[in-house]
Every structure is written in structure tokens, then in C-alpha cells.
Amino acid sequence: MTGMDRPRRLRRTPAMRRLVAETSLEPRHLILPMFVADGIDEPREISSMPGVFQHSMDSMRKAAVEAVTAGVGGLMLFGVPKPEDKDARGSGASDPDGILNRGLRALAHEVGGSTVVMADTCLDEFTDHGHCGVLDDSGVVDNDATLTRYVEMALAQAETGADLLGTSGMMDGQVRAIRAGLDAAGHSDTGILAYAAKYASAFYGPFREAVGSSLQGDRRTYQQDAANRREAIRELELDLAEGADIVMVKPAMSYLDILREVADRSTVPVAAYQISGEYAMITAAAQRGWIDRKGAVLESLLGIRRAGADMVLTYWATEAAHWLS
């Protein structure tokens, strides 16, 4: 047959496919979320996320060194306080001796300069009601009172040496408030990774176990509705105007269309978070022999990159980096 287009010519050999690949996946594109828990001496596996742990301070340092040696681009740290240390204001979040700030200082000392140390700048792990902000007298999250707490938390994290602060609470004006607070305190070099489009999702379930969440109810009054697309662009534009250095879409799997639109419009780098439920589903299917684990992990990460993410937060970051090296 003459005159036929033959795209298969460019798929004929591994070398040819590598030559014409449009999207790459490299260790530097991956960020490892980590959990450091107060009051434990040994790492504690998270039952709904096999292979992921709440770390002690020592095991966190060891895992961080392994990740950096493998070439990951960054580490995102979440703190897990003791239940008795939680209160309505999330006081432990801004306490210099709170578990998250102690962990950040340890990471900055251990691997600072070799990777990007990132902090979760949100109150939910530290509040006894489990919400991402402080509540008013009627039990509703008070947006503007929460911004004051975010600034206090951000300043404490900046003092630890964290490079980027992850504003995950989805409060209106959070990036502007934190940027102003950091600059006024002389932390103009501390960057903001803004969770520009963070959706209320059923796929967060295992994460609630990972951080020992106290949440009752849901977060639908401040996290985005899964039905909405244009709203994500509005949130993106607001965060860019307020001074975000990087923007993020979360979750990744069910929101690749949003990720593509954000990437097409953003003037700063774009991240996506492959969240706990995504990890748990692939892990469970692989454990049952239903899918090839390595193939599914790498394909899922490549798909997120192809949709427009410059970097991907994934619990497989270290392992995937080893595979890719």
C-alpha cells in the first residue's frame, strides 16, 4: 500500500521510542511527602498505605537521606502531634518546639541545600476538630481569623529553614497574607507552593489515618467542588496575583483536565499531588496480582507529567527515582 502514513515507524525499537518521547519522567520531577510523628521511637506503618510510614525523628532523617541520594527533587513534611497536644487553634503548628517545626529543622540540617525542604502550612493536623482553620462561635471555619494563624505558622516554619511553604488550607487570601507576613519578618526568600486548586475528594481517606486526623464532617465549604472547572482557574489567577511561586492541583488522578488547564495558563511552575487514595488503589490491585505494580506506578506518574505537571508529589518518589536512575 503506497501513500499510507506510518506512525509505527517511530515506535519500532526502544531506541526510536526514546528518541521521540514527548514527555520525560526523571527523579528530579518527584517530591516525597513524609510524616513525622511525635512520641514514637520506631517508624509506624500506615495500614491503608502499605509501605508508607509515620516516622520517628531518626527514621525520618534516614528516609530523607535515601530519597535525596536517589535524586528526588524535594521533600514535603507533615507533622503528626500527640492527640493530647491538639487544641481548637492548632497551637502546635506555630510552636517552635512542635513536632512539625522540629522535623523541619532536622531536615534542613540533614539535607538542606541538597534538596528542597517543603512544609505543610495548614492547621488540620493540629486542631482538635480537624478543620484547616479556626472555628467561629457557630462552628464554621473563620476565614480571616485563620489567616492570622497561617501567618504565625508560616513564620515559625520559615525560621526552621524550610524552602517552600505549602499553603493547603484553601482559605481566601492565604497566599497574600503569608507573603506579606514573610516579607515583613525578613523572610523574602522563603517561597510559597500554593495549593491553587484543591478539591474535596473521597480519595483523601488514607491520608486521614496518616496524620491522625480528628475531623468530624467534611471540608466542602472551603475545598473545591469536584463539579467545577472554571473555579479552578479563578483560584489559580488569585494565587498568582497574590505572589505564589509554584501552584498545585490536588488530587491528580481525577483532575488531569484541571491540571492541563492550569498548566496552560500558569506563569509559574505547576505541581500535582498523587494522593493517598491513588497510592492505596494501585498498591491494593498490585498486591492481588491484578496489575503490574512498577508499570502502573510509572505510567500513572508519566500521565501526570504529560497532563502538565512540572513536579509530582508521590509516595513512590524514592522507589520511582531508583527505577529511573
Would you name the residues annotated as active-site residues? 198, 250
Distance of CA 116 to the CA centre of its chain: 13
What is the C-alpha to C-alpha distance for residues 197 and 192, in angstroms, rounded to an integer? 14
Cell (9 digits) for 100 = 512539625
Could you give the CA distance from residue 27 to residue 70 in angstroms, rounded to a whole number? 7
d(CA 150, CA 146): 6
Task: Write out the E strands in 46-121.
Answer: 53-55, 74-80, 116-120
Q: Exposure pattern of 250-286 as b/e (b: 16+ CB <10 Å)?
A: bbbbebbebbbbbbeebebebbbbbbbbbbbbbbeeb
The answer to whether the annotation marks 315 as part of a ligand binding site is yes
Burial class (CB in 10 A: 0-12, 13-18, 19+), 77: buried
Q: Are 249 and 197 in contact (CB under 8 A)?
A: yes
The partner residues of 165 in beta bridges, in order of sequence, read 119, 192
Confirm whether residue 230 is marked as ligand binding. Answer: no
Q: Is 279 annotated as a binding residue?
A: no
Residue 260 is assigned to a ligand binding site? no
Q: Find the helix or strand (DSSP H, E) in which 163 lies.
A: none
Strand 30-37 versus strand 311-313 pairing type: parallel
Per the annotation, does 150 bind a ligand? no
Residue numbers belonging to the annotated binding site for Mg(2+): 235
Residue numbers belonging to the annotated binding site: 208, 219, 235, 276, 315
Residue numbers belonging to the annotated binding site for 5-aminolevulinate: 208, 219, 276, 315
